Amino acid sequence: MHTSLIARGLYRIPALVWDQGLITLFDARLSVDDLPAPIDLVSSTSPDGFHWATPKPAIVETKHRGVGDACLVTGDLCFHGLSNLAGFFEDPTDLEPRLARREEHGWASKSIASLFADVDAAFASSGTGLVLADGRWIQSFVVRRGRQISLRIVRSDGHVTDIDGGNESAMTQLPNGRIVLHSRGVGNRLSSVSDDFGETFSPLEVIPELVDPGCNGHVFYWKAARMLAATHLADPHLRRHLVVDLSTDFGATWTHRITIEREEAAYSTAVEMPNGDVAVVWEAEGTRAIKCTVISVNDIEPRVDKPIADAVSLRHVVINDDHDGIEVALPDPSQWGEGVFKIVSNPDARTQKIRTRGKPARQSLEIGDELVFDIRARDEVRYGVTVAYDGRSIDAIKQEFVGF
């Protein structure tokens, strides 16, 4: 197992695919805020998962518009969102799901909003898409009707089907043709299956063995290992402890594990490379870095579950950086619950400032930046505990919260 740094700074939401090498897209942000925000998509490539090219712009916007939450289906096809001043949770929204194709001079995207005319908002689940054995692609989208969030599955031949509940999700196809879907959930990951190539899906069910704090992960069939694999955070409350759990019986039980990171981690996705190794690309260090960990079948070990312990986890950093922008109304996060609402600099505020482009993002910590921690101690969990960065190491600051 080997971990490499792809980029450090205000980068989030990795997408990944193998197409004559590894290709990743991820958000390049000017602040911690999710869409709506002036976000661009940047790209990096690698021949092996160990050596990565310097990220370069891929899909960019102007003024207050932003693009993000990419999902790569192939090296030439991806889904992403486009918004101006209203995102998924705003009502009305201007968040537009889009399909992009890579052409000779870059990516060209078009709206696919017509597929979602009957819902209030929609965006594609980020990460790695699925091309079925017959060549059709199939993609999951998160949709909102009022305050109800559910899933919509779209297939490249135009077929659409809905699944009640769920959130950001990923799919894989087993050797027998079955499609397995895993969705993020608060407390545990959720699963649905299709035995008719995506015509219909079973109701979502809790996966008791795969705990989840409410964070996007991935599911894939690892051919070299002959196992179903799931990347997720093995913690029911905090965004930490990134693992790859493995099943020898197509998901009935999860008996093996590869641990990638025991401390801060968030969104992850993965692809198997031609040599049988797997590249896992993930958010690290409190969403302050994008990393890639290459794993092999030799890293697989029997799974040994341990009791949930006290922990202090850095969720993200709010840069102390005055900037111009437009104030827009921010929905009440209490209507959605912990682990569901979008990330913004100040979730308790009534407005969100949509930053004006022009000033580059600052990629390093400075005195006065706001560190946002989630803490579990003595069976109690506190979210969003903030402290001003004072120049000490993150580990030293964490020690102040031990046994709070």
Regarding beta strands 106-111 and 96-103, do their DSSP bridges make them parallel or antiparallel, or are they unpaired?
Answer: antiparallel
Of the candidates 203, 232, 205, the one whose C-alpha atom is nearest the C-alpha of residue 217 is 232
Q: What is the pTM of this model?
A: 0.97
pLDDT of residue 104: 87
Instruction: Look at 111-120, 152-161, 244-253, 354-363 and tell me which has the smallest mean pLDDT.
Output: 354-363
Do residues 400 and 389 lie in contact, with contact meaning Cβ atoms separated by under 8 Å? no
CA angle 347, 351, 355 (to 5 degrees): 95
The average confidence (pLDDT) of the chain is 95
Is there a contact between 25 and 53 (Cβ–Cβ < 8 Å)?
A: no
256-279 pLDDT, tens digit each: 999 999 999 999 999 999 999 999
Q: Is the pLDDT assigned to residue 396 strictly greater than 90? A: yes
| CA-wise closest residue to 58 among 46, 74, 70, 50 | 70
Q: Backbone dihedral region of 358: left (phi > 0), alpha (psi from -120 to 50 degrees) or beta?
A: left
Where do runs of H (alpha helix) occur along 362-404? 394-398
Structure tokens, 291: 């990393």
For the residues 213-231, what does the mean pLDDT come to? 98
Identify the DSSP state of 226.
T
Enter the tokens of residue 185: 């959930």
The predicted structure's pLDDT at residue 220: 99
Among the listed ranges 237-241, 281-285, 300-304, 343-347, which one has the minimum average pLDDT value? 343-347
Please, which pLDDT band fits residue 335 given cuts at 50, 70 and 90? confident
For residues 176-186, give the mean pLDDT: 98
pLDDT of residue 325: 86
Where does the pLDDT of residue 404 fall: very low under 50, low under 70, confident under 90, or very high at 90 and above? low
pLDDT for 33 beyond 80: yes
Q: Return the pLDDT at 338.
A: 67
Q: Which one, of 64, 177, 62, 192, lies nearest residue 125 by Cα?
A: 192
CA distances from 110 to 27, 36, 93, 325 (A): 19, 19, 18, 27
- pLDDT tens digits, residue range 69-105? 999 999 999 999 999 999 999 999 999 999 999 998 8
* CB-based burial, 156-180: b 16+ in 10 Å, e otherwise: beeeeeebeebbbbbbbbeeeebbb
Q: Is the pLDDT of residue 169 over 90?
A: yes
Q: How far apart are CA 204 and CA 404, in angstroms?
A: 37
The pLDDT of residue 402 is above 90: no
What is the structure's pLDDT at 363? Answer: 80
pLDDT score, position 144: 97
φ, ψ for residue 115, nearest 5 deg: -75, -10
pLDDT band at 296 (very low <50, low <70, confident <90, very high): very high
Percent of the chain with pLDDT over 90: 86
d(C-alpha 83, C-alpha 93), whole Å: 8
Query: In this structure, which amino acid lies at residue 194?
Result: S
Residue type, position 83, single letter: S
Domain segments of the chain: what residues?
2-302, 312-401
Q: pLDDT digit string (tens) for 379-391?
A: 899 999 999 999 9
CATH code of 2-302, in short, is 2.120.10.10
Whether the pLDDT of residue 51 is over 90: the answer is yes
Quickly state the pLDDT bin for 378 (edges 50, 70, 90).
confident
